[in-house]
Amino acid sequence: MLKALKQKRRNRRLQQLIDSNSLELWPKVAAELEADHLHEALSGEFCALELCIQRGHHQLLQQLLQRFPELLQRPLHDGTQLAQKVLTLESPLRLLSALLSAGLNPNTAFNGKSLVELCLAHPPEQAMLLINRLAQHGASLDRPELLQQAMRLRNQPLIKFMVDSGAPLETSDESVYDAEMLAFTRRCVEDKKIRDMWV
């Protein structure tokens, strides 16, 4: 009975924290939390971490994960990881930054796809912002499949960005790429080589 009352009070305070998005309340709430509590359902089927993501509470999410960094690697109830959930949003930059600041490995992969590859599923301008943020935290971009994916998207600014970021050009079958995009990519690679010679 006492345990159930404590859980109810704790969940109520945690829900109030999320509803208010007030970092001033965080220290008092944090004192009675354990990592598992952030995975308990609060509103319907959603836990505290999911609610922070849904509502875009990036600063609060960062505080939660800095206190319990092990949650960065723990799947949510639907089997997805936090980073995967964040990258399904239309505007995930601030939340992704929160995960990275809390200790997310920028080279993490899910089902064989790296975070950079998942970012390439976003519109090109947003993809570049997301990938740049990953690169700032040490993401490896020196894999040919990243540039290959950009070429398939047929977006020249994105291709140039990937080349300038260090993604190498390797094509085993050039026939699968648009000729104009392939030629543009090669020019970008040559331009980068020339610039690098003068650095």
pLDDT tens digits, one per residue of 115-142: 999 999 999 999 999 999 999 999 999 9
Kindly list the domain boundaries of the chain, sorted by start residue.
1-78, 105-199
Q: 2-20 vs 48-55: helix axis angle to the nearest 10?
A: 10
Tell me the C-alpha distance between 1 and 21, whole Å: 30
Cα distances (Å, whole numbers) of residue 120 to 71, 166, 193: 25, 15, 24
Residues 33-90: pLDDT tens digits?
889 989 888 877 899 999 999 999 999 999 999 999 999 999 998 899 999 999 999 9
Which token pair is 38?
């952030």
Q: Is the pTM of this model over 0.75?
A: yes
The closest of 138, 187, 140, 142 to 167, measured between CA atoms, is 142
Amino acid in the structure at residue 190: E
SS3 category, 103? coil
In degrees, to the nearest 5, what angle opens at C-alpha 81 toward C-alphas 78 and 86? Answer: 100
